[in-house]
Chains A and B, each alone.
Chain A
Amino acid sequence: MLELIVISTLNGVLFGMLLFLLSSGLTVIFSMMGVLNFAHASFYMLGAFFGFQLTKWVGFWPALLLAPLLVGAIGMAVERYGLRNTHKHGHVAELLLTFGLAFAIEEIVSMIWGKTPLDYRVPALLDFPAFTIFSTNYPAYKLFMLAVSVVIFVVLLVVLKRTRVGLIVQAALTHPHMVGHLGHNVGRVFMVVFGVGSALAGLAGVIAGPALVTQSDMAAALGPILFVVVVFGGLGSLPGAFIASLVIGLVQTFAVALNGSLASAFGPLDPSAGPSVLTDIWNVTIAQVAPIVPYLLLVLVLIVRPVGLMGTRES
């Protein structure tokens, strides 16, 4: 039992950190610009595919640097030539633009790389078990993912809260005209912020690619859960996203570990009643519904506390 608890905690934290890695860029963009970027998971997918391709050409470590830059550049182009023009038509137009973009990217990726999973491997340098607990191995690569997530969290927090750049970025959101009058190029600030957010997604892609499956539907598979993280953590709050990622990772992992059902808690239904929808529901275990638990959390949070755990933005 202790074994299962320790290992589930570890698995939960590791999965949670991966979620944070994915959602950090989304949070940055949302908190700074108020744009809920539906194409964020697609930038993550682009990161994974660029990472795979560049790894083949120049090796993993240069790819780790180059792929996010490339994705960031694409992000900046999207902001400059897409979002900036739709911005004046309001949030719905922006949302629709990113929504369409997500589908376009998926199609393009599957046209270039096909739909079968790529053989994107963990770099040899990190391909060994880092430590063993209760005879379960933890790959060094997962610890690397964890470390990167924490570093990103700290760096982002410091840059946004403690530096001049962060100050300008935050001011540009609420008082764009004032910031503009002070001599800052507000348009460029937004473009850079969007670029950085996209690059973070790209970085997550390069890193998560070998750990998960790199194929053209990976954006669609992870997209929805990212929104859960961002909304649950509090719209636009970086610490909120961090905590939400951990909570969701842990909740999902522990839910899988639990075999309990209503039947095991209260006893089986009267068999004479015969099989019905009710007996089905009664016998469903928590493990079976584990993957939908985060979405239940999302619904609950929206009802009880619409701004999320640590959110400040009135949306």
Chain B
Amino acid sequence: MDFATLAPFLVGVIISGLVLGFVYAIIALGYTMVYGVLQLINFAHSEVFVTGAVVGFEIFRVLADNPMNGYLKLLIALIAAMAASGGLNVLIERLAYRPLRNAPRLVPLITAIGVSLILQDLIRIIEGFQGRFDLTYQLPQGFSTPFCGPESSCVSVGNFLSKIGISLQIKEVVMVLVALLSLAALNYLVNFTKLGRAIRAVAQDRVTAGLMGIDANGIISLTFLIGGALGGVSGVLFGLKFGTVNAYSGFDPGIIAFTAAVLGGIGSIPGAVLGGLVLGVIQNLIGVTNILGDALGIANLGVIDSSYQRIGGFLVLVLILIFKPTGLLGRSNVEKV
């Protein structure tokens, strides 16, 4: 295989990896937000995210025959999913984590796994009552069309991409835009507003922040609300990208996004995004290792097919943790005594 065919192929693999990475990145933000404030790994986040995906599915289903603009439908789906997932996350915090806030670290972790299992079965029961298991997104017309495909005559980046053999769909472009927008909004909120300063203060020292007149419980609830809302956004993006979701779909992306958060340095917002993108790209590259092996004439690489793509991400995590235990962008945390 020559360079001229291999180069656009590799670029295509990296681009689809980046698109996938944005989904992971936004899920990872949900983990990292909560961890940053409470030092708690919210394992129920993967179900919070599936809830968002389910709400998105319901919105698209109800609005399927409505002639309104497709982007408006997406906006409604996003807002509804953010509200549902954010609300759910606040509820989880209030019922499952707050009563245990002063318990040893391991206790809320186990509760989190318990909440996660309960939510899985709840989602399954609720959708199962209507005879559904695999929820298939009914996307508005046009979302699945190629991004300015070869038939259209427009001169654009999309047309250029498809000329050199890289396909990108409108929904993928929309996905990346939504992801970038929510990231920018989050960054602004945390770093440039009074509220953000309060969140950072609570993250640093809950008790002292309380003495300074900050309602720590309120801020923690708010963090869960924001984290959950991000979960809702990522759920809809997930449904948009992959088309189907079921009650148990959260597990795999949840674990990967958690890995992404740790890889980037858990607690760090840019770290979560970087971790997500890195994992997305690595996964896709590992998935095509056998082709690269063939092309480069390395026979043994031929065995590494797409079934190994998950392992690749974890391998990178292990390596990073060996050489930089705080993660890519994480700062070492001085233990508070």
Instruction: Judge: A and B partners, yes or no.
Output: no
